[in-house]
Structure 1
Amino acid sequence: MVPSHRPRSTFALVLASVVALVVAIGAPAAIAAEPTPPPPNETGTPTLATLRSNLETAGREYIAAEEKLNLSKARQAELQTLLQQTEADVVRLKQNFAKYAGEAYKTGRVGVIGAMLNASSQDNFLQRAQALDRMTQRDQGSLDRLSEAKHKATATKSNIDQEVAEQVAQTAEMAKRKLAAETALTAAGGGQRTSVNTSGAATAKPAPRNSDGSWPKESCSISDPTPADGCITPRTNHALNEGKAAGFNWYVSCFRSGGDGEHPKGRACDWAAFSGGFENRSAGGSNRDYGDRLAAFFVKNASALAVMYVVWYCRIWHVGTGWRTYNSAGSNCGDDPAGDHTNHVHTSIY
């Protein structure tokens, strides 16, 4: 009887050995797998934190001023059209009134009284009286419309003057913010003019705006679709999707808790210049070309996507200043790939 049970015991031992072997093989494979490099550590010196804060403020206020300027120009254009129509009404009403005044001068009050006295009957007299009353009301209405048209034209001109004053103020505000950004960059050791070719960059679909053309107020309300665990704003999500639609599908990380800048607000993304993640080395060859094209894409579509600034390879494009050098790490370009942004492209959205 004992031998009959041995095959079952043998099978069980073999099965257990196979399971143990599979587990043993699987465990080292998981450990040996290369983890995705973590998002770059963009923190640094207090000077760098101040720079980012100043650039964010300058970018945000510059776009807000530009927004007000564009809205004011649109309102001015509408008012100019209204003024032209109103002035045409004034001219027409003046011509009608001049014609009426000439006729009144020819007939005078005697002509009116004569018309009444020449009535052939009581009914005819009443008819003439009613007709004269309607003429008086018509003529008074013409005078009222002329007065109203003149008042409207005066008010419209005043509103146009207010819009012009608003445009002067916002233009000055934009110049102020541009100077603030340039001053911040210079204080951090950068700020020299530079450039990136954007001629071959794709065109992005504009982010949604309000009916008057302004940017809607947004909060960090969308779950971050990148491996980062957090939230981003709808506009940041739109910019992220447009970047991917343009073919930039390598590793991206947006939200990061803590620290300064726009990452904790869900308004910034870091686009790795390496397909596998943020390698701790400067991009070169096709990797740098990828970063160049990605930076050019966001700069070309800055107005459509509400981009405040883009940082790439020791350079920064700021909405108020254009391309400038960016000495974030306080060293030679590339000594600190994360701080110098030579291993990833940073985008900040309004």
Structure 2
Amino acid sequence: MTARPGRWLVLALAPLIAITMIVSPGAPATAAPGGGNSSTPDDGENNPMLNDVLDSTGRRYLAAKAAVAKSTKAQANLAVQVRNAEAQRDALLPQVGAVAAQQYRTGGLTTMGFLLNVRSPDGFLEKAVSLEEINSVNDGKLSELEAAIDRVATSKARLDQEIKSQKQNLEAMEKNKESAEKALQLVGGKTVTGGFVNLKSKVAAPAPRNRDGEFSSESCNVDDETTGGCITARTMHMYKEVRKAGFTRFVGCFRPGGPFEHPKGRACDWSLQKSGFSPWHNQDTREYGNNLMAFAVRNADRLGILYVIWNKMIWFPATGWSSYSGASDHTDHVHISML
């Protein structure tokens, strides 16, 4: 049976999201509880940015796509080789079969039997030459058949390897595409981060839970060292874990009056500045907010985070990211609310 090459439909996938840094003009600092403002950057870890990862992922995607195209062309050439080798093999089979049939009928052509009826020296020589030619022809046909069979086997093996390699590259293309999309979507995509966010965040120590694994309701009974008010034990745990992860700029948690979680001691506002609040206006402040937000989102389940607001977007564990248009656009701080 003639082997058919594997056929893989290569779709032109949309290019991965091009990441560009969004830079706005420097904005004046606004007053905040605790004093003035400062945009002096902290010494951060040299972690890879998500846009760098998307770049490398995109390169691997394109390399795999090129390999698929090359493999497709190689498969077409190998398929032709297989068909040609099989055609040569099939043409030789009757010829070799005829030789075998003759050998079977005559019991084999021996040198003595073939030369018995020679009546002259010239006849003997002619017979000897004929015998040599017959043997040469038979041996040649057998050798050609063996070579043709080897070519079929070799070409089919190479074709099978190309099909396997192509399948692996197609899977690599899809894997790289999915990993890039997931990594970007988790932390809000281009809208929230512009791509300038660490690929990974530190793993926070988990907050205490009930015996049934749930987070219990907590009252505001722990001193808030950021404002002098009170916060819950779970909020304090979150506060310490965020600082332990390297986010040590200005923060304010408890705030009296108003709705939502601040007066309940279940929320903190993490500024981008050493003190006070000012909207992000350069790569340092943008990345600081992005990375702090990403740490909170990636550790939300471990810390008991209810929702996160940053850069005009809000994140809920159940629904992911949505646009946010509250009293503050949250471009000057990351808001974290707790269960």
Asked if Structure 1 and Structure 2 have the same fold, meaning a TM-score greater than 0.5 normalized by the shorter chain, the answer is: no
User: TM-score w.r.t. structure 1 length?
Assistant: 0.41
User: TM-score w.r.t. structure 2 length?
Assistant: 0.42
From the two aligned structures, give the one with the greater helix fraction: 1
